[in-house]
């Protein structure tokens, strides 16, 4: 099987790299191999074209004008919201809030829901796998309210210890917030099981879906999660746009996060009343272009089939882990169980600092990430300051992995004098 063929997803995903202009670049005489999709994804030409289409043909504000350009812009903007709703199977577009990204979505929730509902003595359960974006906002809420943060521990393979999670749940638990997939260790967490246990304890659930949603089918109704946050730029969409999903009855009860234009009903000098969902949480001129282009990215993923995306990455991950395990100088962090991990692999190469390794790979036009990956507490738990990380998406192939392995060998030779 060639490096561009993926068994089971061949008809939809083979040779797709050509659709991503940046991956056609040659740097230092080498074609680009992009292995940092956990940080941000590349964009297919059709998504880029949609951005140009908006600014070239119907650049106008939404929900305000009665002229044709504004109505066309509004139609595209609202259609994108419906595409998001379908993609995650929400009940209503009222449950889909546009944000700048996952980070803002979680901060919105910590402010609008947290400040209104959390008090001293309440507890919020997180996990030891969390990205700073699903940690710092809750720390700030704790400082404001006096609530306590509890953490589900992980084992030596970065898998959550669910027995310990069950012990943490109590009548003080108000929220369980966790990532669907770890950005640094690749761990896939059991969303449904965690959610059911939280609901049994009377707590709400937030899933940080920044890494999960671009790579896995998610059905918010089937999972019964209360909130979901994710970003457009990790799923072939633009930067600066993201989603907060929330159950409509909960969002209805939450006060607005920001005040300003469009989120109001009636404004007087002394007071204002607020409009209905979802606009209540979207003050000011929104990222219209970002929302519309996110809709096109979702169409692209729908055309591929998100199940095919997952299968593609599963095979690449298996192939990479097999190659890594053949080299005794490579230490893999996280589980090697393919049912419990996604396509982000953190590793250490004996005798080579992650930053040095990243620079050597860059000289051969291979892009990986080196650092703590916005998971400093997790790195400390493993007694390390940083790892190297290779992460995959729809445009990666086995040929990309082979080039990575080849240049890792060159790096080894450089540091073995």
Q: Which residues are catalytic?
A: 374
- Let me know if residue 219 belongs to a domain: yes
Domain's final residue, options 241, 270, 303:
303
**Contact 347/333 with Cβ under 8 angstroms?**
yes
Answer yes or no: do 118 and 252 share one domain: yes
Q: How far is CA 316 from the centre of its chain?
A: 19
Give the Cα separation of 68 and 88 in Å (integer).
31
Q: Tell me: do 59 and 207 sit in the same domain.
A: yes
- Whose tokens are 């979802």? That residue is 278
* The domain boundary residue, chosen from 260, 279, 303: 303
Q: Is residue 5 part of a domain?
A: no
Considering the domain architecture, whether residues 189 and 294 belong to the same structural domain is answered as yes
Q: Is the pLDDT assigned to residue 164 strictly greater than 60? A: yes
Whole-Å CA distances, 66 to 53, 63, 70, 114, 264: 21, 9, 7, 38, 19
40 inside domain: no
In tens, the pLDDT along 60-92 reads: 999 888 899 999 999 999 999 999 999 999 999
Please compute the mean of the pLDDT values over residues 215-222 and round it to a whole number: 98
The CATH number of whichever domain residue 282 belongs to comes to 3.40.640.10
Number of domains present in the structure of the chain: 2
Residue 11 has pLDDT above 70, yes or no: no
- Considering the domain architecture, whether residues 255 and 114 belong to the same structural domain is answered as yes
Compute the half-sphere exposure of residue 111: CA atoms within 13 Å on the CB side of its CA. 10
Residues 103-132 have pLDDT tens digits of: 999 999 999 999 999 999 999 999 999 999
Residues 120 and 243 in one domain: yes
Enclosing domain of residue 22: 10-31+306-414
What are the C-alpha distances in Å from 102 to residues 54, 106, 331? 24, 6, 30
pTM for the whole thing?
0.95
For residue 43, tell me if it sits in a domain. Answer: no
Of 281, 303, 325, the position where a domain reaches its end is: 303
* Alpha helices for 136-233 (secondary structure H): 136-145, 162-168, 191-200, 220-223
Q: Which tokens sit at 85?
A: 């709703």
Residues 290 and 314 in one domain: no
CA atoms within 13 A on the CB side of 268: 4
**Residue 175 pLDDT > 80:** yes
> Are residues 148 and 74 part of one domain?
yes
Percent of the chain with pLDDT over 70: 97
Q: Do 175 and 81 belong to one domain?
A: yes
pLDDT in tens, 374-408: 999 999 999 999 999 999 999 999 999 999 999 99
Same domain, 100 and 242: yes
Domain membership flag for residue 39: no
Q: Mean of the per-residue pLDDT values for the chain?
A: 95
Residue 2 has pLDDT above 50, yes or no: no
The residue to which tokens 């959550």 are assigned: 160
């Amino acid at each position: 099987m060639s490096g561009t063929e993926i068994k089971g997803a061949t008809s939809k995903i083979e040779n797709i790299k050509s659709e991503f202009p940046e991956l056609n670049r040659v740097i230092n005489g080498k074609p680009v191999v992009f292995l940092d999709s956990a940080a941000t994804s590349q964009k297919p030409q059709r998504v880029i074209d949609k951005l140009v289409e908006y600014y070239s043909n119907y650049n106008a504000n939404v929900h305000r004008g009665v002229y044709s350009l504004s109505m066309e812009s509004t139609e595209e903007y609202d259609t994108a919201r419906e595409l998001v709703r379908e993609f995650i199977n929400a009940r209503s577009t009222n449950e889909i809030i546009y944000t700048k990204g996952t980070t803002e979505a979680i901060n919105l929730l910590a402010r609008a829901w947290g400040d209104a509902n959390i008090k001293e003595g309440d507890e919020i359960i997180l996990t030891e796998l969390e990205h700073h974006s699903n940690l710092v906002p809750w720390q700030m809420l704790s400082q404001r309210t006096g609530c306590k943060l509890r953490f589900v521990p992980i084992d030596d393979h970065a898998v959550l210890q669910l027995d310990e999670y069950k012990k943490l749940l109590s009548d003080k638990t108000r929220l369980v917030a966790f990532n669907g997939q770890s950005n640094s260790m690749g761990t896939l967490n059991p969303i449904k099981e965690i959610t059911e246990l939280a609901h049994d304890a009377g707590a709400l659930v937030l899933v940080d879906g920044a890494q999960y949603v671009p790579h896995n089918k998610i059905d918010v109704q089937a999972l019964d999660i209360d909130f979901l946050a994710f970003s457009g730029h990790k799923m072939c969409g633009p930067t600066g746009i993201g989603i907060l999903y929330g159950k409509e009855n909960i969002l209805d009860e939450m006060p607005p996060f920001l005040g300003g234009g469009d989120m109001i009903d009636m404004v007087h000098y002394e007071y204002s009343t607020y409009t209905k969902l979802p606009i209540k949480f979207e003050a000011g001129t929104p990222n219209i272009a970002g929302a519309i282009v996110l809709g096109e990215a979702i169409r692209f993923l729908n055309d591929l089939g998100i199940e095919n995306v997952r299968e593609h990455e599963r095979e690449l991950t298996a192939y990479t882990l097999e190659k890594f395990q053949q080299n005794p100088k490579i230490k893999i962090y996280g589980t090697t169980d393919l049912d419990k991990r996604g396509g982000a692999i953190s590793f250490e190469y004996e005798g080579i600092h992650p930053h040095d390794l990243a620079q050597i790979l860059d000289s051969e036009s291979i892009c990986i990430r080196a650092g703590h990956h916005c998971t400093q507490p997790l790195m400390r738990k493993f007694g390390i300051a940083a790892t190297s990380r290779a992460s995959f998406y729809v445009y990666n192939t086995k040929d990309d992995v082979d080039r990575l392995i080849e240049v890792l060998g060159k790096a080894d030779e450089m540091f073995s004098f």
